[in-house]
Structure 1
Amino acid sequence: MAYVAVSGGEEAIAASIALLDFYRSKTEKDVELEVIQEKMSLLVDRVMSEAGLYAKEYAALALKQCEGSVEEAVFLLRAYRSTLKRSYDTYVADTKNMRIVRRISAAFKDIQGGQILGATYDYTHRLMHFDLKNEDAAKLHERMEAMVEGQEPVPMEPCGRVSDELKTEGLIERFPINEEPPYDVTENLLEFPASRSARLQTLTRADAGFISGLAYSALRGFGQVHPTVGELRTGYVELEIPYLQQEGEALWIGEVMLTEVEIFNEAEDKDALKLACGYGAVFGRNENKAIAMAVIDRELDAGGDYPTQDEEFVLMHGDSLEMNGFISHLKLPHYVTFQSKLDAVRKTRRENNHD
């Protein structure tokens, strides 16, 4: 594809960039990073997930910088991530030890540890709350603080997964244990067939809308039959790194919030009918994406002729940065290629008229 340089446009470009500040200057009120981080937390979580960097403050800053554009914020955060030095690799985080804030199962009513509804919009009335226009944020904060003041934290025992018992009974297919280190898609080109670790990394960084749309197409019949959410859990997972390079010694460095989902579906075994499992995990509270990721994970395992079962189609087209970047590039000058198309059309018209 040929491009031509745009000459004499430096002043116009500078003015265009200045106009961005003009659009952000329509009010004297400022949006503090803490406000974005704490009051737009679901949006912040989505940006962190698609950028592949767990940094709430930086995700909030990126959103402020680009007027709330998710794809632009992901671009900014990924660009910043590429400048960071990787000093350590953490030990594998066991989500069985997750400090759970929400946990449900659509497969079983009674599960070990119980169902924990937590914070969700699933049970709210989808009505506009116009009183929020004049909400007193300070009073809301004080009221919530008063609710929890003096309450003893409820000790949470680690909850085994719903799928554990089914695996013990031999009712769920087990993935073969792979002792190889995870394939890092941020430092290596994605190759096909992709390893499972590469697939899951790519899906968790993919655009939430794209993954949800693909999963929806599978549920409508362009893929596997309707799956069941075996377990959805959201909570905090502790991260540890090797301490002084001594085997078995670990240093706690913090925790991250994750949403993890396992979905169950029928899978034909050569000897007996079993259940197959799809898996999804994303940063923060992002349940629909985690569920959709689990659906697509299972679709790719099953294989077939539908787009949702084509590994290259799914993994190559869901990346937020690549997808939006390529669409955005259509705004760049394509003078040479378009003139070539135009010449071909004119030539064909002349030949047809002559005939």
Structure 2
Amino acid sequence: MYVAVKGGERAIDNAHAWLAEERRGDPSVAELSVAQIREQLALAVNRVMAEGSLYDPDLAALAIKQARGDLIEAIFLIRAYRTTLPRLGASEPVDTGAMACDRRISATFKDAPGGQVLGPTFDYTHRLLDFMLAAGAEIAEAPQAEPRTAPMPRITDFLDRDGLIQPEAPSDEVPPDLTRAPLDFPANRALRLQSLARGDEGFVLGMAYSTQRGYGRNHPFVGELRVGCVAVEMEIPELGFAVEIGEVVLTECETVNQFAGSKTEPPQFTRGYGLAFGHSERKAISMALVDRALRWEELGEDDMGAPAQDAEFVLSHADNIQASGFLEHIKLPHYVDFQSELELVRRIRAEAAEAGTREAAE
């Protein structure tokens, strides 16, 4: 039996109008501008850019406003918009070693060459509500930091120089593009890192945390965490060389992990890697931990059966847009499906009741 729905289009239009009203909120309160979101909710903007796979702070801020602060909805909006953009070409690989760092720390070497640069961080705050912000008090002007333009050497380069860390073999292979082809298995490391970069921060964080609690072989140190601007270059065929077309802010993390060695590899440290748009430390570190856990096979380790070591499990469930779409579709009309199941349950109950009556009569 199908239960007809009448007036659906009109109800949807009214729902959209109500949504717009709720989004605006109290008209007596000043409307939040896109510029305010971009400048004052920058970490939310960074997450939307990272998981939406589109570096544009203004569009990410607009999406957050349109989505009423629902970041997953904002990520959906950005990904949908991204599909409408023409692809003009591919940039050169960015050189994060030449990053102009606003923040650069290492948990492995106190006196790291280039120095520890704390930068803007919550790490040393007391996590107490600051009611001065609610009062609209002006914050004290911070001393102007000298811009750091000199490249800072990588921490892992020092370990690599002494042969203490697994070297990263260079490759000329063009990595697959997850934005143009669906995820497929087995997934190589480049594809796994793309999927983790677009993956839901909370999910990737949960997977990373599970490895630290023993569900996977992971004993990491943050070899280096850096945040800053890198130049984006693109080769112009008419010129025959690459030119700088802009800058992006990135967060990069390399972890250093214990490795007891295997039949083919000597005892040494191994790496985990994470890279995300904007100032996204939690995401980059989580990526690095999960990346290392997923490398168990190529490093000749035994499979411990941990969730974070299962590439199909991790990558198939990391995408919050796919996950929310599959989850939220159950809100939509399923009248025919439910009516058939309802009829089935009623029939089974009737048959069971009839059988019970016969047994009682016998």
TM-score (norm 2): 0.90
Task: Describe the superposition over 1:277-299 as per-residue Cα deviations: whole angstroms up to 9, x where unpaired.
Answer: 01000001111111110000011
Question: In the TM superposition, what are the counterparts of 1:75-94 in structure 2 within 5 Å?
Answer: 75-94=76-95
Aligned partner of 2:313 in structure 1 is 313
Aligned partner of 1:250 in structure 2 is 242
CA distance in 1, matches of 2:85, 2:148: 37
The answer to which of 273-282 and 154-163 deviates more is: 154-163
| Aligned partner (choices 284, 295, 310) of residue 278 of structure 2 | 284
Report if the CA contact (8 A) 1:172-1:276 is conserved. Answer: yes
Q: Which amino acid aligns with 1:75?
A: F
Task: Describe the superposition over 1:158-177 as per-residue Cα deviations: whole angstroms up to 9, x where unpaired.
Answer: 11211112112221122332
Task: Describe the superposition over 1:205-234 as per-residue Cα deviations: whole angstroms up to 9, x where unpaired.
Answer: 111011001111111111123311111110
Residue 226 of structure 2: SS of its match in structure 1? strand
Structure 1 residue 331: Cα displacement:
0.4
| Aligned partner (choices 292, 295, 299) of residue 289 of structure 2 | 295
Report if the CA contact (8 A) 1:4-1:333 is conserved. Answer: no
Structure 1 residue 343: Cα displacement:
2.9
Q: Which amino acid aligns with 1:123?
A: Y
Question: In the TM superposition, what are the counterparts of 1:56-205 in structure 2 within 5 Å?
Answer: 56-136=57-137, 140=139, 144=141, 147-148=143-144, 153-205=146-198
CA distance in 1, matches of 2:150, 2:3: 63
The answer to which of 222-231 and 33-42 deviates more is: 222-231
CA spacing shift, 1:6–1:281, aligned 2, 3 Å: farther
CA spacing shift, 1:89–1:4, aligned 2, 3 Å: farther
Aligned partner of 1:16 in structure 2 is 15
Q: Which amino acid aligns with 2:284?
A: A
Report if the CA contact (8 A) 1:171-1:275 is conserved. Answer: yes
1:325 aligns with 2:325: yes
CA spacing shift, 1:135–1:186, aligned 2, 3 Å: same
Aligned partner of 1:50 in structure 2 is 51
Which of structures 1 and 2 has the larger relative contact order (alpha carbons within 8 angstroms, sep 6+)? 1
The answer to which of 344-353 and 309-318 deviates more is: 344-353
CA spacing shift, 1:90–1:25, aligned 2, 3 Å: closer
Report if the CA contact (8 A) 1:4-1:334 is conserved. Answer: no
Q: Which amino acid aligns with 2:151?
A: P
Tell me the matched-pair count.
344
Structure 1 residue 352: Cα displacement:
3.2
CA distance in 1, matches of 2:25, 2:322: 32
The runs of 5 or more residues in structure 2 that have no matched partner are 298-302, 357-362
Q: Which segments of structure 1 move beyond 4 Å, counting only runs of 4 or more?
A: 3-7
The runs of 5 or more residues in structure 1 that have no matched partner are none
Structure 1 residue 334: Cα displacement:
1.3
TM-score (norm 1): 0.92
CA spacing shift, 1:53–1:345, aligned 2, 3 Å: same
CA distance in 2, matches of 1:347, 1:275: 63
CA spacing shift, 1:167–1:245, aligned 2, 3 Å: farther
Select the structure of larger CA radius of gyration: 2
Superposed CA RMSD in Å reads 1.9
